[in-house]
C-alpha cells in the first residue's frame, strides 16, 4: 500500500492512529509473514530483514533526521546561498561555554590543515574525561555512527552528497539514521566521509531517557553531572589554538544492519522529503 501525496506530509505526532503512526490495521511486529498475509493486515508483504513489521515509534527517528536535513538546507530562507557548516544538536545536549569559540577554531583548522574533511564532530561520548589534557586536541578519522553522532556539523556539499544517495538512505533496512549514514559512507558515497573530531568534547549528553531507555531515568541527575564536569573542565576552556593529535585511516566500516525499516510506506515518505510541495 502506497501513501497518497497528502499522506506523505503527515507526522506520527499528528496522525498517531494511521500511517506514519501505528495504524490498528498494521501487522503486529512479531507476526509471521504467512499469518500476516492470511489476516490481510496492511503491510503484510513488507516485513524487515528479520521478519518484523514496522513500529511507528521506532521509524520516526530516521524520518525526523532526514526531514530535518531537507528543511534546514532547502526551506530556511537564511540558509539560501550559505555553504559553510551547520551544527546539529539535540534537545538533551549540554554545550560547554566555549562551544562557539571551539567551533570557529575547528572551521579554520579544517581549511588549513584538513581541506578534505567532510564533517566536524564537536562532541564525543567520553564526557569530560581527561578534558584538561585534550582540550585543544583534534584528530581526523573516518565517520563512525557510535562515535561521531553528537555535535555533528556538515556542509552543504556533504548535504548534496547525501541527497544523491536519497534512494539508498530511504530503503536501507536500518531504523537508525546514523548507522544508515555509516553504510552510505564508502558505498553510495564512493569516498568515505572524513571527520575532524574534538577530543575534548564540547557537547555533553544529558539524556537518560529516550528511545532505548525509558525506566529509571533521572534527567536532573544527568544535568547535575554535566554541571559538575564543567567545574572540573573550566580552566581548560577557550584554547588559543588547536593541535592535531592523530590521523586515523578513513575507510568504509561495514556493520550488521538493525532492521526496523522494511515497510515501503516508510521508503516513500522518506524519499518524498526531497520533493518541493
Q: What SS3 state is found at 219?
A: helix
Rounded CA-CA distance 172/186 in Å is: 15
Tell the residue number behind the cell numbers 549528553, with chain if given.
205
Q: What phi and psi, each to the nearest 5 degrees, are found at residue 259? A: 75, -160
d(CA 42, CA 28): 10
Q: Which helix (H) or strand (E) covers residue 107, if one does?
A: helix 99-113
4 is in an annotated binding site: no
Q: Please state, as a whole number, how many other Cβ atoms lie within 10 Å of the Cβ of residue 275.
A: 9
Whether 255 has a binding-site annotation, put simply, is: no
**Phi (first) and psi of residue 89, to 5 degrees:** -115, 155
Is 63 known to sit in a ligand binding site? yes
Burial of 51 (0-12, 13-18, 19+ CB in 10 A): middle
Confirm or deny that 61 is annotated as ligand binding.
Answer: yes
52 is in an annotated binding site: no
How, if at all, do strands 119-121 and 194-198 pair? Answer: parallel
Q: Which residue has the cell 556538515?
A: 154
* 208 is annotated as contributing to ligand binding: no
Euclidean distance between CA atoms 63 and 273, whole angstroms: 9
Do 244 and 133 form a contact (C-beta atoms < 8 A)? no
Peptide bond into 101 cis (omega under 30): no
Residue 60 in marked binding region:
yes
Residues of each annotated binding site for Mn(2+): 92, 205
Residues of each annotated binding site: 60-64, 92, 205
Residues of each annotated binding site for substrate: 60-64
Amino acid at each position: 500500500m502506497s501513501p497518497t501525496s497528502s499522506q506523505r506530509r503527515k507526522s506520527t505526532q499528528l496522525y498517531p492512529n494511521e500511517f506514519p503512526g501505528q495504524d490498528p490495521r498494521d501487522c503486529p511486529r512479531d507476526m509471521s509473514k504467512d499469518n500476516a498475509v492470511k489476516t490481510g493486515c496492511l503491510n503484510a508483504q513488507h516485513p524487515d530483514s528479520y521478519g518484523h513489521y514496522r513500529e511507528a515509534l521506532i521509524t520516526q527517528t530516521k524520518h525526523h533526521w532526514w526531514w530535518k536535513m531537507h528543511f534546514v538546507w532547502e526551506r530556511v530562507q537564511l540558509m539560501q546561498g550559505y555553504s559553510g557548516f551547520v551544527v546539529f544538536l539535540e534537545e538533551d545536549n549540554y554545550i560547554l561555554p566555549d562551544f562557539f569559540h571551539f567551533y570557529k577554531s575547528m572551521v579554520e583548522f579544517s581549511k588549513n590543515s584538513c581541506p578534505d574533511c567532510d564533517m566536524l564532530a564537536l562532541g564525543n561520548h567520553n564526557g569530560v574525561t581527561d578534558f584538561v589534557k585534550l582540550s585543544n586536541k583534534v584528530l581526523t578519522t573516518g565517520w563512525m555512527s557510535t562515535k561521531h553522532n553528537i555535535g555533528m556539523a556538515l556542509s552543504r556539499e556533504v548535504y548534496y552528497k547525501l541527497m544523491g544517495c536519497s534512494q539508498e538512505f530511504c530503503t536501507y533496512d536500518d531504523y537508525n539514521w546514523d548507522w544508515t549514514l555509516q553504510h552510505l559512507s564508502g558505498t553510495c558515497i564512493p569516498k568515505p566521509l572524513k571527520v575532524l573530531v574534538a577530543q575534548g568534547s564540547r557537547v555533553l549528553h544529558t539524556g537518560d531517557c529516550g528511545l532505548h531507555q525509558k525506566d529509571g531515568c533521572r534527567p536532573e541527575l544527568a544535568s547535575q553531572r554535566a554541571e559538575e564536569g564543567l567545574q572540573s573542565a573550566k580552566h581548560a576552556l577557550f584554547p588559543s589554538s588547536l593541535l592535531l593529535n592523530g590521523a586515523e585511516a578513513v575507510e568504509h566500516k561495514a556493520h550488521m544492519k538493525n532492521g526496523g525499516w522494511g515497510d515501503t510506506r516508510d521508503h516513500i515518505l522518506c524519499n518524498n522529503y526531497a520533493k518541493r510541495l
